Chain A
Amino acid sequence: MEDEDAELIALFVQEAVEHLETVEPDLLEMEESGEDTDAETVNRLFRSVHSIKGSAGFFGLTKISKLSHVMENLLGKVREKTIKADADVTASLLTGLDKLKTMIDDVSASDNVDATEEMRVISAIIDANDPNASPPAEEKAAEEPAPQPAEADATPEPAAVEPPAAEEKAEETAKAEEPAKAVEPTKAEEPAKAVEPTKAVEEAAPESSLPVPTAPANANKNATIDLFLYPQEVKMAVKHGHRFLLIVLDLKGEPAAKKVAFDQIKQQVVTVGNIVATEPADPSLAASFTQDKSSILLTTVLEKDLFLSLVELPEDSVKLMPIPESMVSENTPGGTEVASSVEEKTGPRLLKPEKIDKAGSGKKSATGSTKTSKPVLEETLRVSVTLLDELINMAGELVLTRNQLTRAVDASESLSPQVQPLIQNLDSVTSRMQEKVMQARMQQVSSVFNKFPRIVRDLAKKLDKKIDLSLRGGDVELDKSMIEHLSDPLTHMIRNVADHAIESPKDRIADGKPESGQVELAAYHEEGMINIALTDDGAGIDQMIIMQKAIEKGIITERESENMGKEEILALIFTPGFSMAKQVSDVSGRGVGMDVVRTNIEKMRGTVHISSDVGKGTSVVLKLPLTLAIIPSMTIMVAGQRFSIPEIGLVEVVHIVGSELSERIQMVGNAPVLRLRNILLPLMDLSEVLDIPYDEEVQGPHWISQLSADDKKSKDSSDEENLEEIDEQVVRIVVINVGGNEFGMVVDEILDREEIVVKPLPAVLKDNPRFSATTILGDGSVALIIDYAGIMEKANINFGNVEQALRDNLENDRSAALKEMQNIILLETGNGLFMGIVNNMVRRVGKFKKDSIEIINGQPYVHYGDITYRIVFPEHLIDMPTDKKIEISKKKIANSESDEADESDDKDLYMLIPNMPDVQVGLVFSRIVDSLTISIDLDLDTVLMKGLFGSSWIQDRVVLFPDIQALFEMAGVPVAQTSPAIDCKGLKALVVDDTPFLQLLTSSFLSQEGFEVSLAGDGRQAMTQLGKEQFDLLVTDINMPIMDGFELVREVSSTKNSAIPVIATSSSTSEDLEIRCSQAGIVGCVPAMDKDSLIKTLATLQRT
Chain B
Amino acid sequence: MLVSTFILGDFHLGIDIILIREINRSKVVTPIPGAPPFIKGMLNIRGKIITLYDLKQRLGWDETDSVITGKNGQPIRPFNVILKTHDEVHRLNKASAEKCQWEDPVGMMVDQLGDVLELSREEIMPAPANLKGISVDFVEGVVEFKDNLLVLLNMASIFGIDANDDTN
A residues near B (Cβ < 8 Å) are 393-394, 396-397, 641-642, 690-692, 759, 762-765, 768, 770, 774, 776, 780-784
Contacts and interface: CB of A to CB of B under 8 A. Distances in A.
A404 to B, nearest CB: 13
Given A762-B42, A763-B104, A690 B49 contact: no
Interface residues of B, number: 25
Contact of A774 (B28, B49, B102): B49
Given A397-B46, A774-B49, A776-B49, A764 B30 contact: no
A580 B115 CA distance: 70
A782 B49 contact: yes
A692 B33 contact: yes
A759 B49 contact: yes
B39 interface: yes
B161 A768 contact: no
Interface in B13-72: 28, 30-36, 39, 41-44, 46-49, 51
B42 A690 contact: no
Contacts of A774: 42, 49
Contacts of A763: 51, 102-104, 161
A692 B119 CA distance: 45
Nearest to B32: A765
Given A641-B30, A782-B44, A765 B35 contact: yes
Nearest to B106: A762
B163 interface: yes
Contacts of A768: 34-35
Nearest to A768: B34
Nearest to A642: B30
B164 interface: yes
A397 B104 contact: no
Contact of A394 (B33, B43, B46, B164): B46
Interface of B: 28, 30-36, 39, 41-44, 46-49, 51, 102-104, 106, 161, 163-164
25 contacts: A397-B47, A641-B31, A641-B33, A692-B31, A692-B33, A759-B49, A762-B32, A762-B42, A762-B49, A762-B51, A762-B106, A763-B51, A763-B102, A763-B104, A764-B36, A764-B39, A764-B163, A765-B32, A770-B33, A776-B47, A780-B44, A781-B28, A782-B43, A782-B44, A784-B33
Given A641-B30, A763-B104, A782 B42 contact: yes
A692 B31 CA distance: 10
Contacts of A776: 44, 47, 49
A768 B161 CA distance: 15
B30 A782 contact: yes
B71 to A, nearest CB: 29
Nearest to B43: A782
Nearest to A3: B94
A692 B32 CA distance: 9
Contacts of B42: 762, 774, 782, 784
B96 to A, nearest CB: 16
Given A691-B34, A782-B42, 10 more contacts: A394-B47, A397-B46, A642-B30, A762-B106, A763-B104, A764-B51, A768-B34, A780-B28, A780-B44, A784-B33
Contacts of B34: 690-691, 765, 768, 770
Contacts of B104: 762-764
Contacts of B35: 764-765, 768
Nearest to B94: A3
Contacts of B51: 762-764
Nearest to B48: A393
A641 B34 CA distance: 13
Contacts of A782: 28, 30, 41-44, 49
Nearest to A641: B31
Given A692-B33, A770-B33, A781 B44 contact: yes
A780 B27 CA distance: 10
A998 B47 CA distance: 66
A764 B32 contact: yes
Nearest to B105: A762
A313 to B, nearest CB: 39
Contacts of B41: 782
Nearest to B53: A764
Contacts of B47: 393-394, 396-397, 776
B44 A784 contact: no
B57 to A, nearest CB: 13
A766 to B, nearest CB: 10
A402 to B, nearest CB: 13
A386 to B, nearest CB: 8
A29 to B, nearest CB: 42
A691 B34 CA distance: 7
- Closest A-B pairs by Cβ, 9 of them: A393-B47, A762-B51, A397-B47, A782-B42, A782-B30, A690-B33, A781-B28, A763-B104, A782-B44
A1 to B, nearest CB: 13
Contacts of A690: 33-34
Contacts of A780: 28, 44
A764 B31 CA distance: 13
Contacts of B163: 764
B30 A783 contact: yes
Contacts of A641: 30-31, 33
A769 to B, nearest CB: 10
B149 to A, nearest CB: 30
Contacts of A692: 31, 33
A782 B28 CA distance: 8
A691 B33 contact: yes
Contacts of A783: 30
A642 B29 CA distance: 12
Nearest to B28: A781
Contacts of B39: 764
A782 B31 CA distance: 9
Contacts of B106: 762
A763 to B, nearest CB: 5
Nearest to B164: A764
Contacts of B46: 393-394, 397
B32 A784 contact: yes
A780 B34 CA distance: 23
B17 to A, nearest CB: 23
Nearest to A762: B51
A73 to B, nearest CB: 43
A642 B104 CA distance: 23
Most buried by B among A692, A762, A763, A784: A762
Nearest to B29: A782
A776 B106 CA distance: 16
Contacts of B30: 641-642, 781-784
B148 to A, nearest CB: 32
Nearest to A794: B34
A770 B44 CA distance: 21
A762 B102 CA distance: 11
Contacts of A759: 49
Nearest to A640: B31
A765 B164 CA distance: 10
Contacts of A784: 30, 32-33, 42
A805 B22 CA distance: 57
Nearest to A690: B33
Contacts of B102: 763
Contacts of B33: 641, 690-692, 770, 784
A218 to B, nearest CB: 58
Most buried by A among B42, B51, B163, B164: B42
Nearest to A774: B49
Contacts of B43: 782
Most buried by A among B39, B46, B47, B161: B47
B121 to A, nearest CB: 25
B32 to A, nearest CB: 6
Nearest to A783: B30
A781 B49 CA distance: 10
